[in-house]
Structure 1
C-alpha cells in the first residue's frame, strides 16, 4: 500500500457509535442520581428521555444506513437489565435481543458494549469497583448478556474508557461514584481488568468464540513547557499509564501502573494474557501536561498550538496525535478498531474537514502496515454528553432536543461518499444539497 493511499479496501468497516444512557432515555441509574444531586456543569439539566433511541431505534438504524454505515455501536444498559441486585428483567433482555437481530437483519454489524460508564443504582453501594465483589457482579451481568450475541457475529466491548471512569470517578471525584482516593483507584483498576477476564469466560462458555476487547480513550500528550524535564517526564508516564496500561494487561497478563503522588500497582492478573482479539481506541484530542509541586502534581490544558481553533468543547484539533497513537498500537500485534472519533461542531461546518484529516491518518497507518479494521464515528446523533449535558453536538445528524427531529449535517453526505466509494476525497469535492445544515 502506498504511503499516499487514498482508497480503503472493500472489507474496511465504516460505522457509527452511540451509548445507551446518552441516547435511549428513561433510564434510572447512578448517572440519573448524579444529575438529581445537581452535579452536572449545569445543575438543572437532566438526561431524562435523551433522544428517545429506545423507541426510535428502527429510524436510527435507517439513518446509519443512509450514510453508508455497515456497523452500529450500541451499549447495553446494566441498570435496565439488573435494576435490583440479582433480579434480571427478562423483558429488557428480549428487547435488546430484538434490537440486535433487527440491526443485523438490516445489514449493520452489531458492535456491543457491556459497560459504558453507567451502573445500576445498587452497584456503588453493594459492589463498588474498589472491592473484589465487583468482579463477580460483572461476571453475573456478562453471563445473562451472553445469549444476546448468539448468531450475530458481533464485536463485543467489555468496558468503555476504563481510565476515564477511574480518573473521573475515583481520582477527581467528578463523576459517579465521586471518590477521590489514589489507593482505591488502583484497586478499582485491578478489579476492572479482572472483570474483563470474567466477562470473557462467561461469553466463551455460552458462545464458544467471541471477538472481545475494550475501548480505551487515548490522548496524545505533549509537555506544556517543552524545555521542562518534569513536564516531559509526565508525558512519558501519562502515555504509559493512561493510554497503554490496560491494553498491555490484556495482552501480557501484567498490569503495571505508576502514577507518582497518586498510586501504583504491579500485579499479574490470571487469565488476562491474550484476553482480547482486537485493540479498541477512542481518539479526540491532545493534552498538554505541566508539573505542579503539590498533589496531584499534574495539571493539563488544551492549547491551540497551530492556530486551527479549538473545537466547540474546547479541545485541540490534533489529527497528528491520532496518527501517532495508531502507530503505537502496532506493538500489540492485534487488529485495531477505531471505536470512537468525532468532533463537537455546533454549527456543523467543520466536521467534514475533521473527518478528512482523521481518516487520512487511518490510511497512513494502514500504509505503514497497521491492521486497522474499522472506523466508528462518534456519534450518529447529537446526544447527552455526560457532565457537559446538552451543549456539545457530536452528531452526524443534528437533533432538535425539543422535537427530537433528526436532520442531516453536511458531514452526512461526506461520510456517505467515503463509506460507499471507499475513496478519501477532500470535503470540497463532495457537493452539498442547498438545504443541508
Structure 2
C-alpha cells in the first residue's frame, strides 16, 4: 500500500453506531414479547433496561467524542413513538428530539435509522409486512419521525438489514414475527421496498433534500466444498439474493430474487428506481454455503480458514471479504457508508487488530475508486445482542451489565488515533 493510501481524507467521517432496543432500555415491543415466550438462545434472558442509554445519552455522547467520532448512529424506536396504532406518544417524540439536539451540541452528526428490526406489539397482528397496508402504516410513522430531524442535517436510514429481518423472521421463523413461508417472505420483501420509497418521500417533503438509504448486511460467501457445483451455485444465487436484491431494487426499480425451492420474486417497482442517495453496508464476516437435500437447501458454516481464530460469536475473521464487498457495491454509482463493522471480542484484545485490518480494506477500496465516505463502528457500547442475549461484546466501551459502568477497551485508543490523525497505523 502506497503512503497516500494510508491516509483518510479530511472529509472522511468516523463514527459509532447503536440501535434503540439494544441500548435504551424500558421498551415494550415485539422483541420483548419474543423474550417472554422464551425464544432466545438463553430462554431467561431479557433486554429490560438494556444499558440505560435513554437516561445516560449525554454520557454516551461524551464517550463517542472521546474516541474522535463525529457521527453517531441511532435508531428511533417505533414502539415508543406509536405504542398503539394511530396514537403517537408526544412525550417520546419530544424525548427523541431533545436527544438529537444534544447530539448536535456534542459535535456529532446524527445518522438516524427509522426501523432497526423492532415493531410495536400491534404491528404483526394488525398490519404485518406481507400485507399491503403495512406500507401506509410505515409512511405515517416516517412522517412523524421526519419532523424530529428539522435543522439537524441528519443522514437517514429507512431500514436496517431488511434481508436479515426477512430471512430470520419470515423464512426461518427464528425472530419476530416467527413466520416460515417463502411466498409470504417475498410479499414482505416487496412491501419493504415500497415502504422505503414512501418513507424517503416523507423525509424529503418534510426536510428538503436529505441523504437517505438503507443499511444492508452483506456477507462474503464461499462454497463449503469448492469442487461441488451445487455449493458454487448457492454462492452465486445466495450472494445476489441476500447481498444485492434490495440494493438493486432501489437502483433499478426491479426486484429480483431467484432461490429455487426457497423463494422467488420478480416485481417491477418503477418508483423505487434511483431511490437512495447512498449505499449502506454492514460487514462482519464470510459464510461458507453447502447444499443440503432438504428445504431450505442451504446450510451456513463459518470456517477459520486462515488460522486467525473465529470471533467469540463464532464468525470468521475475514477482512478480505470487506474489500470485495465494497468493490461489489461500486456498481450502484452512489457514495458508500460503512454503517456497521465490528467484532465480538469478549477479552477486548483482538479489536484493535480487527479495526486495523478492516480499515486497511476501506483504504484499498477507496484507492480503487469506491467512494467510501464514512465508517461507523458497531458498536459504541456492549449491548443486548438479539437472540444471543448478553453474551457478545462488540463495544468500543466495555459495559458492566450489573452496574452499567462504561470502561474503555484498548480499541478506544486505536480508534481515536486513526479518527483524529487520519492515518492508518499499526496497533501496538
TM-score tier, shorter chain, comes to over 0.9
- Counterpart contact for 1:313–1:392, Cα < 8 Å: yes
Residue in 1 aligned with 2:378?
Answer: 378
C-alpha distance after superposition, 1:358-380 (max 9, x if no partner) = 00000000000111000000000
Residue in 2 aligned with 1:158?
Answer: 158
Q: How many angstroms does 1:263 deviate by?
A: 1.8
Residue in 1 aligned with 2:347?
Answer: 347
Alignment of 1:6-45 (within 5 A): 6-45=6-45
Whole-Å Cα distance in 1 between the matches of residues 218 and 260 of structure 2? Answer: 20
Alignment of 1:289-368 (within 5 A): 289-368=289-368
Q: What is the root-mean-square deviation in Å for CA atoms of aligned residues?
A: 0.9
Q: How many angstroms does 1:2 deviate by?
A: 4.7
Whole-Å Cα distance in 2 between the matches of residues 4 and 364 of structure 1? Answer: 11
Residue in 2 aligned with 1:93?
Answer: 93
Residue in 2 aligned with 1:82?
Answer: 82
Alignment of 1:139-158 (within 5 A): 139-158=139-158
The answer to which of 224-233 and 260-269 deviates more is: 260-269
Q: Runs of 5+ in structure 2 lacking a partner?
A: none
Whole-Å Cα distance in 2 between the matches of residues 347 and 207 of structure 1? Answer: 44
Secondary structure of residue in 1 paired with 2:111: strand
Q: Does 1:192 align with 2:192?
A: yes
Whole-Å Cα distance in 2 between the matches of residues 296 and 239 of structure 1? Answer: 15
Secondary structure of residue in 2 paired with 1:306: coil
Runs of 4+ in 1 over 4 A off after TM superposition: 1-4
- Counterpart contact for 1:282–1:339, Cα < 8 Å: yes
Whole-Å Cα distance in 1 between the matches of residues 372 and 298 of structure 2? Answer: 33
Whole-Å Cα distance in 1 between the matches of residues 288 and 260 of structure 2? Answer: 18
- Counterpart contact for 1:211–1:277, Cα < 8 Å: yes
Q: How many angstroms does 1:4 deviate by?
A: 6.5
Whole-Å Cα distance in 2 between the matches of residues 369 and 181 of structure 1? Answer: 40
TM-score by length of 1: 0.97
Q: How many angstroms does 1:149 deviate by?
A: 1.1
Whole-Å Cα distance in 2 between the matches of residues 337 and 279 of structure 1? Answer: 6
Q: Does 1:111 align with 2:98?
A: no
Whole-Å Cα distance in 1 between the matches of residues 255 and 6 of structure 2? Answer: 38
Whole-Å Cα distance in 1 between the matches of residues 361 and 382 of structure 2? Answer: 25
Secondary structure of residue in 2 paired with 1:311: coil
Whole-Å Cα distance in 1 between the matches of residues 51 and 215 of structure 2? Answer: 23
Whole-Å Cα distance in 1 between the matches of residues 87 and 289 of structure 2? Answer: 45
- Counterpart contact for 1:356–1:426, Cα < 8 Å: yes
Residue in 2 aligned with 1:389?
Answer: 389
Aligned residues: 428
Residue in 2 aligned with 1:434?
Answer: none
Q: How many angstroms does 1:270 deviate by?
A: 3.4
Q: Does 1:413 align with 2:413?
A: yes
Whole-Å Cα distance in 1 between the matches of residues 107 and 294 of structure 2? Answer: 54
When residues 4 and 322 of structure 1 are mapped into structure 2, their CA distance, relative to the original with a 3 A threshold, is farther
Q: How many angstroms does 1:151 deviate by?
A: 0.8
Whole-Å Cα distance in 2 between the matches of residues 46 and 295 of structure 1? Answer: 32
C-alpha distance after superposition, 1:173-209 (max 9, x if no partner) = 0000000000000000000000000101111111121
Q: How many angstroms does 1:296 deviate by?
A: 1.0
TM-score by length of 2: 0.99
Q: How many angstroms does 1:410 deviate by?
A: 0.1
Whole-Å Cα distance in 2 between the matches of residues 110 and 257 of structure 1? Answer: 33
When residues 83 and 185 of structure 1 are mapped into structure 2, their CA distance, relative to the original with a 3 A threshold, is same
Q: How many angstroms does 1:23 deviate by?
A: 0.0
Whole-Å Cα distance in 2 between the matches of residues 53 and 15 of structure 1? Answer: 17
Secondary structure of residue in 2 paired with 1:214: strand
When residues 93 and 305 of structure 1 are mapped into structure 2, their CA distance, relative to the original with a 3 A threshold, is same
C-alpha distance after superposition, 1:253-297 (max 9, x if no partner) = 110111111121111113101110000000000000001112111
Secondary structure of residue in 2 paired with 1:191: helix
C-alpha distance after superposition, 1:16-57 (max 9, x if no partner) = 000000000000000000000000000001000000000000
Whole-Å Cα distance in 2 between the matches of residues 206 and 411 of structure 1? Answer: 39
The answer to which of 159-168 and 2-11 deviates more is: 2-11
C-alpha distance after superposition, 1:287-322 (max 9, x if no partner) = 000011121111110000111100000000000000
Q: Runs of 5+ in structure 1 lacking a partner?
A: 429-437
- Counterpart contact for 1:3–1:364, Cα < 8 Å: no
Whole-Å Cα distance in 2 between the matches of residues 195 and 307 of structure 1? Answer: 43
